Amino acid sequence: MSTSTRFGDRRGTIAAAVTALLLLVGGVLVAKALTGPGAPPQPDRAQGTQATQDAAPTPGRSATSRPTGSSTPSPAAPSSTPGPDFGPIMGPSSPVSLVIPSIGVRTSGLVDLKVDRNGKLEAPTDFAKAGWYAAGPTPGEFGPAVIGAHVDSKSGPAVFYRLGSLKKGAEVSVLRRDGSTARFVVDRVARYSKADFPTATVYGDTKGRAELRLITCGGAFDQSTGHYVDNIVAFAHLTS
């Protein structure tokens, strides 16, 4: 489907990615009424409400006070603080498969997710496949790469049915088209209301790191609309 909004290439700016991805979390990856083994698992409340260091603003440095009566500031001591460690960064290469051993996810043939002519990000048409936001960073590049999938369908669980049970420290591997593998570790998993989604926290500045966001629907299922009312988001960072 053609798009009416141009967001640049897949390594476009974070601002463009935030604009497009807000539409994704706003309700594009909706699920059908589940007829299988019950409601999908939800994140621990402690994980969902915990503030992360990455999302917090960098504190400002206070001015150095002068001794009383001094006409010039004292010379600053040499800094022994090491420079920031942004961690590993990989070159661009599109993802082809996703593996999350702890929740039994192993899916290949990741599809490109684009915006439609209404400016909304399209969901995978196949409930058995995941998709990635192709106008954003590829997994392993600087910035927040995004992979989305359905939580369920009328016939039962879909790819991200167990995303809400993912724990801090879990490993996520993304095989890329160039043959390399981007390996991530989960920092936290949170659930957010679609009506009050914290876009800046989820899709904002990663402070120099290569990160990954895994997203699906969660919370209560609204029978009147046929949609879940929340989104589940897993935050992870690249380790190798």
Cα 21 from chain centre: 10
User: DSSP letter string over the chain?
Assistant: ---SS---STT--HHHHHHHHHHIIIIIS--PPP-SSSSPP---HHHHH---TTTSPPPPPPPPPPPTT-SSPPPPPPP-PPPP----------EEEEEEGGGTEEEE-PEEE-B-TTSPBPPPSSTT--EEETTSPPBTBSEEEEEE--SEETTEE-TTTTGGG--TT-EEEEEETTS-EEEEEEEEEEEEEGGG--HHHHHS--TT-EEEEEEEEEEEEETTTTEEEEEEEEEEEE--
pLDDT of residue 29: 39
pLDDT of residue 47: 54
| Amino acid (1-letter code) at residue 59 | P
Nearest CA among 85, 93, 86, 99 for reference residue 184: 99
| Domain chopping of the chain, boundaries | 14-47+87-238
Q: Which residues, other chains included, contact 202 with Cβ-Cβ below 8 Å and sequence gap of 6+?
A: 21, 25, 144, 192, 213, 233, 235
pLDDT of residue 58: 25
Nearest CA among 169, 176, 177, 183 for reference residue 234: 169
Q: What is the pTM of this model?
A: 0.71
Give whole-number Cα distances, 210 to 169, 213, 219, in Å: 16, 10, 28
pLDDT of residue 220: 86
Burial of 123 (0-12, 13-18, 19+ CB in 10 A): buried
> pLDDT tens string for the chain (240 positions)?
322 323 334 444 443 444 344 444 434 434 343 344 568 888 875 454 433 333 322 222 233 333 333 333 334 444 455 556 678 999 999 999 999 999 999 999 999 998 677 655 677 989 999 999 998 899 999 999 999 999 998 889 999 999 999 999 999 999 999 999 999 999 999 998 888 877 777 778 898 899 999 999 888 888 888 888 888 999 999 998
Token code pair at residue 236? 């992870």
pLDDT of residue 36: 46
pLDDT of residue 121: 62
Give whole-number Cα distances, 182 to 29, 30, 92, 134, in Å: 24, 28, 11, 16
Token code pair at residue 39? 């409601």
Asked if 203 and 17 count as a contact pair (C-beta separation under 8 A), the reply is: yes
- Does domain 14-47+87-238 bear CATH number 3.30.70.3280? no
Cα–Cα distance measured from residue 212 to residue 203, given in angstroms and rounded to the nearest whole number: 10
- Residue 182: count other Cβ atoms within 10 Å of its Cβ: 24
pLDDT of residue 232: 92
